[in-house]
Chains A and B, each alone.
Chain A
Amino acid sequence: MRLSQGGLIDRAKPLRFSFDGKGYQGFAGDTLASALLANDVRLVGRSFKYHRPRGILTADSNEPNALMTIRRAVDEPNVRATTQELYEGLEARSQNAWPALGFDLLGMNDLLAPFLGAGFYYKTFMWPKSFWERVYEPFIRRAAGLGALSKAPDRGRYDKAFAHCDLLVIGGGPAGLMAALVAGRAGADVILADEDTRLGGRLLAEREEIDGGPALDWVEEATAELRALPNVRLMTRTTVTGAYDGGTYGALERVSQHLASPAGHAPIETFWRIVARRAILAAGAHERPIAFPNNDRPGVMLASAVRAYVNRWGVAPGKRVAVFGQGADAERTARDLRAAGVELAEVITDRVTGTNGRLGLEEILVPDGDGARGINCDCLAVAGGWNPAVHLTCHMGARPVWRDDLAAFVPAEGAVPGLTPAGACAGAFSTAACLSGGARVAGAILEDLGLSAPKPDLPEAEDGGYTITPIWHVEGKGRAWLDFQNDVTVKDVKQSATEGFRSVEHMKRYTTQGMATDQGKNSNVAALAVLADATGRTIPETGTTTFRPPYTPINIAALGAGALDKGFAPERHLTSHAASVARGAPMIEAGLWYRPSYFPAPGEQTWREACDREVTMVRQAVGVADVSTLGKIDIQGPDAGKFLDFVYTNTFSTLKEGRVRYGLMLREDGHVMDDGTTARLGAQQYLMTTTTAAAGQVMAHLDWVRQALMPGADVQIASVTEHWAQFAVAGPKAGAVLASVLDDWAPGDWPFMSCGAVSVSGVAGRLFRISFSGEQGYEIAVPARFGESLFRLLVAQAEALGGGPYGMEALNVLRIEKGFITHAEIHGRVTAFDIGMGRMVSAKKDCVGKTMSERPGLSGPEREQMVGLKPAGSVKQLTGGAHLFEAGARATAANSQGYVTSVGFSPTLGCFLGQGFLRNGRARHGETVRMVDHVRGVEAMCEVCDPVFYDPEGGRMRG
């Protein structure tokens, strides 16, 4: 019920909203929870297991019960009504109830509660065996869960950002405000983050005075002063979610969640990584409930929440309110209720032994002589004492420390390097202590940072002491809830102890206490107390579970901002990309690159037709392919040759200028890392080519060898992959194409494996006489800015001679015909021996990987060695990934002798060709083996051959 006056709401701005389809009205400044209470809506959800009716418990992000689905562009489940700000047209739906919140069929679970105690599911559902997955589990899954994802793609705008500061103040209550003031005035770069919509913390919810005036006036002044300081950044609606190494904090800013739709280009949420030299945790404390029989009815609420609804939102959470608790909190609650004109039923300091009411509280029971007496009320404010918000201090592994005088855990000293708690989260609960604590901690940090801070005048404020005799649990008839969402009762914790789950970690895992969406913020300490009692130990002896990030749950969309669709990884485009696309070439992923798969010609129906044509074109005329994706590394210096001799298995120091050599590179564990050609461009300059896949890995490796293993060598290396566009021109007419585009050039001057400078229409380029196709081949490189024009020029000239561009499919077939390898073959588990290149490991010198490659297991007849494969039976198809067996052997793991790595249909030879690895394969050329591909359902007999199918003498390549 809305009170006639008071609260930080704008009564001039009414807002319409709906809950479960029914329309209501609230005001600007309301949360969804305060607006629901203002409209006397008490039943807001159902619990997880028993589907018990649930009402609003808190007024903050700890809320375990009032979780709702909010209609947005994509519906958002599990939103806390207590933190969702009201906006015009907000639509909320309840969750986990069917057919309706007021009549939930799964509420029958509650009747079965005697059979559904802690861990019951470990003891049953085992018979008959097949029923777990077919019957029991599907039912459990449908009954469990909270809200539902809409399953529609979430393409809303989210963002991520970095921020750096001297001091991060976490929490904008009295301690945080005071700390920010002190640090801000001293000139430090300060970020003050608070999860609430406005600064003030508990002061927003209490009737208090500071410096003789309303505390809110002081909050306003402090906020205004901070806002005016250019070195202070105020971040409201921003929850610091995690503490990480090196002073890094994660924080979630809800930028637009309080609006009907994001304004302009604003994101919905931004996930911040804040790097802070120091931080102050001023996160306050959370009041805790008390476990008493049937304490879970809607209307039972934390006393601090009752005060918040009354004072901040001008809402009476009930018509007749009782208070249960001791000391200042109970008195303060009664006082505020009276002041607001809400009928106060009674203040109970001893025990509440039960409650009654259907779908909501109607009566509480208190002891009366030997019996019980009922008190009519529809709201009970429970003050169970306060837990400092230690959560962030646990994120790096420290456990909080028990303080008997507070009956609560406080942060361990030095729990997070650079983070100091202040105020209530450090166990100082009075407003005066928070103000002075914030100032003192900020002052000490400033001194540490070398900044001078004038001693602040501390405002005067309430300085009451805090005493507590905790009531953890009231005995009585009926279940007493600890974890309201997961339905964990005192009885469950006791039973878990009886069953031997005495460790607090065991109890948590066995009962699921603390595993609900509040992560035990409301229930951990009381559950621990019950467990301690049940096992005859003190609370510190019993221990505590820890809190892990995030402090409050984070939408995956925020943490994964920017990664939607193509945003997940960079896209690397060739200079010829647009030209290839214009020719209709499907572009396929090759690592981060896109490369043309094939270039379809008019009338071609399938990729195979195009591929076959392109292969034949290269074999008979000439083809042009963009090979710029290969890694290119420029290596210069007097020791360049020596350096290459160490990274390659073979020798490069003896390579003559103007010549190119194929090289093989090992990892230090003796297996092949990569291969490629390296050209000697000058006396002290080499250009290394790597495969597309390994370009980054090889560059890091070369940096490693140069800096760590050859620190004295005079050699410099630089990746120039992106600087040059490079095109293969291959085929009998390749020389003619080049002669038509190069200035003053004749093929006769360029023998196989030569290289050098050329001029293309006046542009300085490089030419390499190398071949990955087996035909006369060249690769021509020009600075990348000329790449697209050169590609168009080369293709035009090739087409004039009956040739044209070719894509990855044809490139693959050409290399298989010729027996060349790719990373399908050098897949990380093969040695130089395996691929028939054992002799390339020079005996005359050391190189990376040489010693380990000499281990006995890395060579010999037991190894699977590379072979060529050709169909030799009625089935003419080969498939990649098939396994090889002896003819007649059963296709079992024990019989597997190898596998197929690459296949392609060779239009040149008119059949499928394959490459693969076969045990002792080099000695088995001519043998017929059985190829079995269970997965594709293909089986064929194949002949084992030399991998070089085409032009084994190499005359065409050299010619």
Chain B
Amino acid sequence: MRFSGLKILTEGLTGNRGWTPHWRDPAPKPEYDVIIIGGGGHGLATAYYLAKNHGITNVAVLEKGYLGGGNVGRNTTIVRANYFLPGNSEFYSHSLKLWENLEQDLNYNVMLSQRGQVLLSHSDGQSDALIRRGNAMRNQGDDAEWISPEYMRKNWPYLNFDSPRFPIYGGLMQRRAGTARHDAVAWGYARGADQRGVDLIQNCEVTGIDIENGVVKGVQTTRGAIRAGKVGIVTAGRSGQVAAMAGMRLPIESHVLQAFVTEGLKPCLDTVISFGMGHFYISQSDKGGLVFGGDLDMYASYAQRGNLPMVEHVAEAAMTLMPMIGKAKILRSWGGIMDMTPDGSPIIDRTDTDGLFIDCGWCYGGFKAVPGSGYAFAHLMATGTPHKSAERLRLDRFRTGRGLMDEEGTGAQHNLH
């Protein structure tokens, strides 16, 4: 079924009786060409691009819960391409370009809203560092511009310009950045993959990875053994546990990142504002909720929930930056499990096991990466060579020290990001 305004019109006039499932609910077959472990955003996108770009449709996506139930359904929906180190720079640039055509490509409205994102600067030194970033973005062919405090006063007069703890010196704006409807991204890819023949199998937990003589043969699941010549692990948040089934240890520690949404409010914030000094960023959703977040709770966790110190810190940052926000009420807080790598950047690579591939380590940047990650991982799994946008996202960079992507400069070792 093709979605369109006309389809909605005809269905509406005929009692909405013609709608069908967005995807099938198939039982697993005994064998596939490719198995994707993990039915989150990245796994579903990988399956979609395997089918669409490479014609590989005998694919199963195995999901232990429901599709899109991981981080793609519990993030702050920000899309951007404002990285500055080689590796991240070309990858996120490619991903943003895919976002810009996603709705037409998927025939699914993921509500990409290129509202712009600004990174605030609070000193001359920060300005220089942000401008270095902006220049890297421009070198990459993406947009970046410097906006002045005067511009901000005009557009966001309620920011604290007059008595701030950290005065605003300016900001780096990417106008093509913005937000998207997070669940729709997962559903759109799921529907697209399903339409091309991919089996999306929910409530199917992988319990083992079958390897013989260094070659992957398939997986064990709660719904039986499934054979496949190629297996991709795309289980951010649980990467360590799944990799352990293949005898691997990863350079990853799992952390909790909290996020927040207020009750619905009439439009008051037309862009994404990031307040680095306060580890705080905020946008407004189409429904009117102010969606915001902060830093990691900073302890290893698989609990998908956090504690009060970070809740309070985020609210404090909100109050010092935009004191008009005081009477917005926090409606819900939640947490996601972040795959934190030592340098804060992701991994898309083959493993030492033939036919076994891994896509992990998205830290707290996985949502905007969904299209690019699926595209590049599908390319790697289909062709055996990395896609050019993801050539540097290698697992061995920590061992060699080559091509580390420590955007924050806090160190290519754990718990400094």
Residues of A at the B interface (CB closer than 8 Å) are 48, 74-78, 114-115, 117, 120-127, 129, 132-133, 137, 140-142, 144-156, 158, 160, 242, 244-245, 248, 250, 271, 273, 395-397, 491, 495, 498-503, 505-506, 509-510, 512, 515, 517, 519, 548-550, 553-569, 571, 588-590, 667-671, 673, 823-824, 827-829, 852, 855-858, 879-883, 891-893, 895-896, 899-902, 932-936
Of B262, B320, B342, B399, which one neighbours A564 at CB under 8 angstroms? B320
How far does the alpha carbon of A934 sit from the alpha carbon of B409 in the complex, in Å? 23
B287 — which chain A residues lie within 8 A by C-beta? Answer: 48, 144-145, 512, 515
Of B131, B284, B402, B412, which one neighbours A936 at CB under 8 angstroms? B131
Interface pairs A-B: 5 shortest CB-CB:
A154-B326, A828-B409, A145-B288, A857-B402, A557-B326
Q: Mark B392-417, 1 if CB is under 8 A from A, else 0.
A: 00000101111110101111110010
Answer whether A517 and B266 are a contact pair too, CB < 8 Å, given A124-B4, A146-B288, A560-B318: no
Of B25, B172, B188, B267, which one neighbours A500 at CB under 8 angstroms? B25
Asked whether, in the complex, the Cβ of A151 is within 8 Å of the Cβ of B288, the reply is no
How far does the alpha carbon of A918 sit from the alpha carbon of B320 in the complex, in Å? 39
Q: Does B221 count as interface, using CB distance less than 8 angstroms? A: no
Asked whether, in the complex, the Cβ of A151 is within 8 Å of the Cβ of B268, the reply is yes
How far does the alpha carbon of A623 sit from the alpha carbon of B13 in the complex, in Å? 83
A895 — which chain B residues lie within 8 A by C-beta? Answer: 139
Of B103, B262, B265, B397, which one neighbours A129 at CB under 8 angstroms? B103
A147 — which chain B residues lie within 8 A by C-beta? Answer: 265-266
A491 — which chain B residues lie within 8 A by C-beta? Answer: 16
Residue on A nearest B23 in the bound complex, by CB: A500
Asked whether, in the complex, the Cβ of B329 is within 8 Å of the Cβ of A568, the reply is no
Q: Does B134 count as interface, using CB distance less than 8 angstroms? A: yes
A505 — which chain B residues lie within 8 A by C-beta? Answer: 66, 69, 73
B103 — which chain A residues lie within 8 A by C-beta? Answer: 126, 129, 132
Answer whether A828 and B334 are a contact pair too, CB < 8 Å, given A397-B305, A857-B403, A893-B140: no
Residue on A nearest B411 in the bound complex, by CB: A667
A900 — which chain B residues lie within 8 A by C-beta? Answer: 128, 132
How far does the alpha carbon of A936 sit from the alpha carbon of B15 in the complex, in Å? 58
How far does the alpha carbon of A512 sit from the alpha carbon of B145 in the complex, in Å? 37
Of B86, B129, B288, which one neighbours A893 at CB under 8 angstroms? B86
* 18 extra interface residue pairs, beta carbon distance < 8 Å, beyond A857-B403, A934-B134, A936-B131: A123-B8, A124-B3, A124-B4, A124-B8, A125-B109, A144-B264, A145-B266, A151-B268, A153-B158, A495-B19, A510-B183, A555-B327, A556-B327, A560-B318, A565-B160, A565-B164, A880-B128, A935-B172
A148 — which chain B residues lie within 8 A by C-beta? Answer: 265-266, 268
Asked whether, in the complex, the Cβ of A245 is within 8 Å of the Cβ of B327, the reply is no
Asked whether, in the complex, the Cβ of B263 is within 8 Å of the Cβ of A517, the reply is yes
Q: Mark B374-407, 1 if CB is under 8 A from A, else 0.
A: 0000000000000000000000010111111010
Asked whether, in the complex, the Cβ of B331 is within 8 Å of the Cβ of A933, the reply is no
Of A122, A124, A556, A932, which one neighbours B187 at CB under 8 angstroms? A122
Within 8 A of A (CB), among B1-25: 3-5, 7-9, 11-13, 15-16, 19-25
Asked whether, in the complex, the Cβ of B317 is within 8 Å of the Cβ of A563, the reply is yes
Residues of B at the A interface (CB closer than 8 Å) are 3-5, 7-9, 11-13, 15-16, 19-25, 65-67, 69, 73, 86, 89-90, 103-104, 107-109, 111-114, 122-125, 127-136, 138-141, 144-146, 157-158, 160, 163-167, 172, 181, 183-184, 187-188, 202, 262-268, 278, 284, 286-288, 303-305, 307-308, 311-312, 315-320, 323-334, 342, 397, 399-404, 406, 408-413, 416
Of B73, B136, B312, which one neighbours A883 at CB under 8 angstroms? B136
Of B65, B127, B323, which one neighbours A155 at CB under 8 angstroms? B323
Asked whether, in the complex, the Cβ of B264 is within 8 Å of the Cβ of A48, the reply is yes
Asked whether, in the complex, the Cβ of B403 is within 8 Å of the Cβ of A151, the reply is no
**Which of A76, A500, A571 has the most CB atoms of chain B within a 10 A radius of its CB?**
A500
Asked whether, in the complex, the Cβ of B315 is within 8 Å of the Cβ of A556, the reply is yes
A588 — which chain B residues lie within 8 A by C-beta? Answer: 123
Residue on B nearest A858 in the bound complex, by CB: B401
The smallest C-beta distance from B70 to any residue of chain A, in angstroms, reads: 11
How far does the alpha carbon of A921 sit from the alpha carbon of B342 in the complex, in Å? 27
Asked whether, in the complex, the Cβ of A146 is within 8 Å of the Cβ of B263, the reply is yes
Asked whether, in the complex, the Cβ of A150 is within 8 Å of the Cβ of B324, the reply is yes
B325 — which chain A residues lie within 8 A by C-beta? Answer: 149, 154, 556-557
Of B3, B109, B331, B411, which one neighbours A517 at CB under 8 angstroms? B331
Answer whether A562 and B406 are a contact pair too, CB < 8 Å, given A155-B323, A588-B123, A589-B166: no
How far does the alpha carbon of A667 sit from the alpha carbon of B415 in the complex, in Å? 13
How far does the alpha carbon of A896 sit from the alpha carbon of B164 in the complex, in Å? 37
How far does the alpha carbon of A673 sit from the alpha carbon of B411 in the complex, in Å? 9
Answer whether A77 and B327 are a contact pair too, CB < 8 Å, given A122-B109, A145-B264, A560-B319: yes
**Which of A568, A880, A934 has the most CB atoms of chain B within a 10 A radius of its CB?**
A568
Of A149, A151, A933, which one neighbours B135 at CB under 8 angstroms? A933
A933 — which chain B residues lie within 8 A by C-beta? Answer: 131, 135
- Provide a sorted-by-A list of 22 A–B residue pairs whose CB atoms are within 8 angstroms: A122-B184, A124-B109, A133-B113, A133-B114, A140-B286, A141-B284, A151-B157, A154-B325, A395-B305, A509-B73, A560-B326, A563-B320, A568-B166, A671-B411, A827-B129, A855-B401, A880-B128, A881-B130, A893-B139, A896-B86, A899-B132, A899-B135
Answer whether A498 and B21 are a contact pair too, CB < 8 Å, given A553-B330, A667-B411, A880-B131: yes
Asked whether, in the complex, the Cβ of A881 is within 8 Å of the Cβ of B331, the reply is no
B411 — which chain A residues lie within 8 A by C-beta? Answer: 667, 669, 671, 673, 828
Answer whether A123 and B268 are a contact pair too, CB < 8 Å, given A559-B330, A899-B132, A934-B144: no
